[in-house]
Amino acid sequence: MNDALCYLNGEFLPLSEARIPVLDRGFIFGDGIYEVVPVYGRRLFRFDEHIARMGRSLAKLRIANPATREQWLERCRTLVHAQASEDQLLYIQISRGVAPRDHVMPQGLVPTVFMLATTMKPPSAEQRHQGVACVTARDFRWERGDIKSTSLLGNVLARQISADHGCVETILFRDGMLTEASSSNVWVVHEGALLGPPKSEHVLEGIRVELLRELCEDCGIAYNLRPVSEADVRTADEVMLSSATKEVLPVTKIDGEPVGHGALRGKPGPVYGRLYEAYQQAKARMSI
């Protein structure tokens, strides 16, 4: 790995020189939060939405936001401009800080802030053209999926199930209802409408949840957040994933079965096609 510039606790330094104390609560407890902001042409996509969600995650952990929006923006821009590639992923992590090990939240700690911009690895042309395969699993993670926490063991275990099957994602069901995937939101299409699960403590409110609502409105596609059953997923006309890295990505096989019906069975569908195009236009419009 090339020795990229990173940010740690007020300093910009080469990644190979960045160090944190082993008693950092991020290391000991996974007691922290993170954000992943996509960057196109060195411009931050939906920056304000990401920073607002970061603030909500921090508030849920009772960690005071250690910087203003302007300070976050300035740091992000410094990292993005130091990176060789135009399209990047900007990672921000904030942990509660360093303290003797005790489950109770210590007061008055200085949060540890780490930031790194890496080259974006978008889905391949083949994945966009053919769609991707996913598997399903019971959602065995904890009940606070709404917090973008660095405690990601449940997500890591879930993702590995699909990796072991040579698949791109693990779609999760809790009590027979769709929640999300290990690191993406999941969408289904029925009768031309884009459907996703409602906001809850079981699902991360992806930045693309609101973005897709806007894009659907622009495209005249009905959009509805409502409980989505496992049967809704398995009988859908189309299924797709969304995330900072995947943007929108068509799922054409689930547990080895092709998705969809008729001539489009096992192929990316028209709603995906329109949303993908609209997403590309939004990238130019909405970056700062």
Q: Which of 168, 178, 184 is nearest to 131 (CA)?
A: 168
Span near ligand PDD by CB under 6 A; candidates 69-77, 242-250, 258-266, 276-284:
242-250
Phi then psi for residue 17, to 5 deg, are -100, -5
Does position 155 interact with ligand PDD (CB under 6 A)? The reply is yes
Does position 243 interact with ligand PDD (CB under 6 A)? The reply is yes
Does position 244 interact with ligand PDD (CB under 6 A)? The reply is yes
Phi then psi for residue 167, to 5 deg, are -110, 170
* Active-site hit among 60, 148, 199, 253: 148
Residues 172-201 that bind ligand PDD (CB under 6 A): 180, 183-185
Span near ligand PDD by CB under 6 A; candidates 92-100, 206-214, 221-229, 268-276:
206-214
Beta strands 238-243 and 223-225 are unpaired
Pick 99 or 181: Cβ nearer ligand PDD: 181
267 is catalytic: no
Residue 15 CA to residue 230 CA, distance in Å, equals 43
Q: What is the DSSP letter of 267?
A: S
Does position 245 interact with ligand PDD (CB under 6 A)? The reply is yes
Give the nearest distance from C-beta 3 to ligand PDD in angstroms.
Answer: 22
Q: Which residues contact 206 (CB under 8 A, 6 or more apart)?
A: 180, 184, 185, 242, 243
Helix (H, G, I), strand (E, B) or coil at 67: coil
Does position 204 interact with ligand PDD (CB under 6 A)? The reply is yes
Pick 13 or 146: Cβ nearer ligand PDD: 146
Span near ligand PDD by CB under 6 A; candidates 101-109, 114-122, 161-169, 238-246:
238-246
Q: Which amino acid is at 13?
A: L
Sign of CA dihedral 224, 53, 163, 267: positive
Site string for ligand PDD, 75-104 (x = CB under 6 A): ------------------------------
Q: Which of 130, 270, 248 is nearest to 196 (CA)?
A: 248
Residue 237 CA to residue 264 CA, distance in Å, equals 8
Which positions lie near ligand PDD, rule CB under 6 A? Answer: 36, 155, 180, 183-185, 204, 206-208, 242-245
Q: What are the catalytic residues? A: 148
